[in-house]
Structure 1
Amino acid sequence: MPNSPETLALADSLRAPLLRAARRLRQEAQRAGSSALDALILGYIRRRPGVGVSELAQAEQVSRPSMSGHVKRLEAAGWIQRFDDQEDGRRSGLQITPAGEAQLDAVRQRRNDWLADRLARLTPEARAALAAAGPPLLQLLEQDQ
Structure 2
Amino acid sequence: MPLAALAKDPADPDLLAEALRPAILRVSRRLRQEASKAGLSALDVLLLVEIKRQPGVGVCDLADGEKMSRPAMSGHVKRLEAAGWISRISDAKDGRRSGLAITEAGLKALAETRRHRNDWLAARLAHLSPEQREALAAAAGPLLALVETQGPEAAR
User: Do both share a fold (TM > 0.5)?
Assistant: yes
- Equivalent runs, 1:25-44 vs 2, <5 Å: 25-44=31-50
The letter for the 2-side match of 1:97 is T
Deviations 1:72-118 (A, max 9, x none): 00000000000110101121110000011110110010000000000
Q: Give the alignment's TM-score, normalised by structure 2.
A: 0.87
Q: What residue is the counterpart of 2:140 in the other structure?
A: 134
Q: CA deviation at 1:54?
A: 1.1
- Tell me the percent identity: 61
- Equivalent runs, 1:1-145 vs 2, <5 Å: 6-144=12-150
CA distance in 2, matches of 1:62, 1:121: 39
Q: What residue is the counterpart of 2:5 in the other structure?
A: none
Ranges in structure 1 where 5+ consecutive residues have no aligned partner: none
Larger Rg belongs to: 2
CA distance in 1, matches of 2:126, 2:64: 37
Ranges in structure 2 where 5+ consecutive residues have no aligned partner: 1-8
Deviations 1:33-74 (A, max 9, x none): 110110111111111111111111122221111111000000
Q: CA deviation at 1:6?
A: 1.7
Q: CA deviation at 1:143?
A: 2.1
Q: How many residues in Structure 1 have an aligned counterpart in Structure 2?
A: 142
RMSD (Å), alpha carbons: 1.5
CA distance in 1, matches of 2:89, 2:38: 27
Structure 1 segments of 4+ aligned residues over 4 angstroms from their partners: none
Q: CA deviation at 1:14?
A: 0.3
Q: CA deviation at 1:20?
A: 0.5
Q: Secondary structure at the match of 2:100?
A: strand
Q: Secondary structure at the match of 1:88?
A: coil
